[in-house]
Structure 1
Amino acid sequence: MPSNAAEDEPNRPEDGKDPEAPSPAASPDSESDGRPSPDGDGTARPASAKQKKQRSFWKELPILIVVALVLAFLIQQFVARVYMIPSGSMEQTLHGCPGCTPDRILVDKVTYRFSDPEPGDVVVFRGPEAWVEDDPPSESSSNPIAGFFQNVGSAFGLAPPDERDFVKRIIATGGQTVECCDDENRVVVDGKPLDEPYIYWQGGEEKQREFGPVTVPDDAVWVMGDNRNNSSDSRYQGGGGERGAVPVDNIIGKARLIVLPPSRWDVVSDHNPQASADASAMSAPAWQAGLPLAAGALAAWPTLFVSRKAGAGVRRLVTRRFRRER
């Protein structure tokens, strides 16, 4: 009797598969719940691939940190930088008394690429040779390790700036003649008394030391501290006179904002002491007066943006790594 073809015919592999091969569901290397592996092809991923995936966290993290540091360095070199006020010479505009929490200020490095320093600007500058020639060597200059941490800390406003960096207010610019004082104890520039509402009289003695007249050299500025009787500035540095003036090329930038501590948040005043009452009455509208604040905020934004992005990236990498390990 002819046999039943359907019963006698050997089992044919479907789609070219070996009938003796275990099914994917029975494979010991496959996922226990029948779901495809992360590769999506139903096969188990080798253990080495998983280890490689996990190791990628440690490869990406240093790269992310380096990129964030490089961006922060570039921003602080060319756009804006945070400085810590190390002394009380600019009280009460800027807070820096010993034993207290000093102000951190945002210094705009872009402004003076397009404009000249003006009277009233609070500036950070490198001390000219006449200011630092008699200074003893600092710890950071004799100890490379201390110098490295000093530079890193000062770059992010966590440590005082280099001892050769100063912060003062511009009183007169190149070609002007400055002296002190008139009958009302006011500094005089080109024969006109200054309007200085920012002066702080530490100790209560409202009397300034007499000096001058001094003609400020071209391409230089005459600077003084707001804490008028407790500031080593152009009146004293280099023996006073023309040697006390600061070259414009030494100016690092203009102080815009007090960024820390939060209780001190404010715009740094750049009141022009040479402006007469008539000029003040014809001052720019309020929206223009807010431009320095807007410029400072824009300068601060890249630093904040980079730090937040770096933090978010690190959190994503950590979260991804723990999910893989689970």
Structure 2
Amino acid sequence: MSDVTDGAKSEQASSAEPSTEPSAAEPEGSTDAGTDSGTDGTEGKNKKKNSRPFWKELPLLIGIALVLALLIKTFLVQAFSIPSDSMQNTLQRGDRVLVDKLTPWFGSEPERGEVVVFHDPDGWLRDEPTPKPNAVQKFLSFVGLMPSAEEKDLIKRTIAVAGDTVECKKGGPVRVNGKALDEPYIFEGNSACDDMPFGPFKVPDGKIWVMGDHRQDSSDSRYHTSDVNKGFVPVSQVVGRAVVIAWPVNRWSVLSVPDTFDQPGISAAAGAAPGVLGVAGALPFVIRRRRRLTSGRTAG
């Protein structure tokens, strides 16, 4: 009896232990497959939730692009359109130029020979009609993607800067600090200033003297000597230097400074330097001589 009982207990115990063999009713790997599919499904749902349609991100991308364009226009470069013939043949009507607005932030001022864009200093364009841009043009000009039609800006070549003496007599060349300018950029058939001789004028501090390359078709400093600035343009009104013709493509070129503005002795500071050095060198001898005279009188 005891053997049967023990055998029954042993059989019950062995049947209570989990079987390591796969059941015929359940195919192998069914549990693992169910778990994996559940995990993949969750990850797929998360990916769908995290990914956003492109059309939802498009306004953000456009906003970033507009902010960058506005910053570039304000601090780096700005495009300007040439509306007249006053700078022919260097610039043609309809050209688009890029103007450097960065260097003025670091104290850079216009130099002789540079082509500069500046705000109307004192009604130079009062007789010019002002275009009426539409809303789209206003927006594009605001972010710097096209020139502003409402701003009264001019573009000319810097001829003389603060401290320079500039003049031009009929039949003669423009002279800066006594040095004649060789101006191959002047429009063919034009004289240097026969239509409006001027000077000599000394350029005040903080001002520049500007002229158009098409001398007989340019209302520049020569024609405004009776205004509040005496024809000079305040440096504070200068937007920046035009550095390149960007459009049309077949006219792409860099607006460099002509060699004539680098000729020796053209700088007013350089011209004054020998005199200053001469006075400084002679000063010790003058002081010594005065001391000798004073001591001689005292001894006598």
CA contact (8 A) 1:120 1:270 kept: yes
1:245 aligns to what? 232
CA contact (8 A) 1:196 1:273 kept: yes
Shift of 1:56: 4.8
CA contact (8 A) 1:92 1:227 kept: yes
Shift of 1:247: 0.5
1:193–1:55 CA distance, 2 compared to 1 (3 A):
same
Amino acid at match of 1:105: V
- Which segments of 5 or more consecutive residues in structure 2 lack a partner in the other structure? 1-6, 20-25, 267-300
1:149–1:70 CA distance, 2 compared to 1 (3 A):
closer
1:241–1:70 CA distance, 2 compared to 1 (3 A):
closer
1:212 aligns to what? 198
1:67 aligns to what? 64
CA contact (8 A) 1:212 1:241 kept: no
Superposed, 1:132-143 pairs within 5 Å as: 132-133=125-126, 135=128, 138-140=131-133
1:42 aligns to what? 40
Which residue of the other structure, out of 103, 108, 129, is the alignment partner of 2:100? Answer: 108
1:259 aligns to what? 246
Amino acid at match of 2:230: R
* 1:149 and 2:139 correspond: yes
The CA deviation string for residues 223-268 of structure 1, in whole angstroms up to 9 with x for no partner, is 1111222222222347579432211001111122223333222210
SS of equivalent residue, structure 1 residue 70 = helix
The CA deviation string for residues 16-58 of structure 1, in whole angstroms up to 9 with x for no partner, is xxx9xx968579xxxxxx8x58xxx2334687x6664454533
2:77 aligns to what? 80
**TM-score, normalised relative to structure 2:** 0.66
Shift of 1:10: 9.5
For the pair shown, which has the larger CA radius of gyration, 1 or 2? 2
The CA deviation string for residues 169-202 of structure 1, in whole angstroms up to 9 with x for no partner, is 0011234333332543x2233443222121113x
Amino acid at match of 2:246: V
1:272–1:123 CA distance, 2 compared to 1 (3 A):
farther
RMSD: 3.8
Give the distance between the partners of 2:248 and 2:130, measured in 1 at CA.
31
SS of equivalent residue, structure 1 residue 195 = coil
SS of equivalent residue, structure 2 residue 109 = coil
CA contact (8 A) 2:243 2:254 kept: yes
- Which segments of 5 or more consecutive residues in structure 1 lack a partner in the other structure? 13-18, 28-33, 280-326
The CA deviation string for residues 246-298 of structure 1, in whole angstroms up to 9 with x for no partner, is 1100111112222333322221021254443688xxxxxxxxxxxxxxxxxxx
1:124 aligns to what? 117
Give the distance between the partners of 1:109 and 1:124, measured in 2 at CA.
10
1:61–1:73 CA distance, 2 compared to 1 (3 A):
same
The CA deviation string for residues 147-166 of structure 1, in whole angstroms up to 9 with x for no partner, is 6236247x22x456544111
Amino acid at match of 1:149: F
1:309 aligns to what? none
SS of equivalent residue, structure 1 residue 43 = helix
CA contact (8 A) 1:130 1:244 kept: no
Give the distance between the partners of 2:220 and 2:107, measured in 1 at CA.
26
* 1:90 and 2:87 correspond: yes
Aligned residues: 249
Sequence identity, in percent? 40
1:276 aligns to what? 263
1:129–1:64 CA distance, 2 compared to 1 (3 A):
same
Give the distance between the partners of 1:116 and 1:257, measured in 2 at CA.
18
SS of equivalent residue, structure 1 residue 60 = helix
1:283 aligns to what? none
The worse-fitting range, judged by mean Cα deviation, of 50-59 and 224-233 is 50-59
CA contact (8 A) 1:171 1:273 kept: no
SS of equivalent residue, structure 2 residue 166 = strand
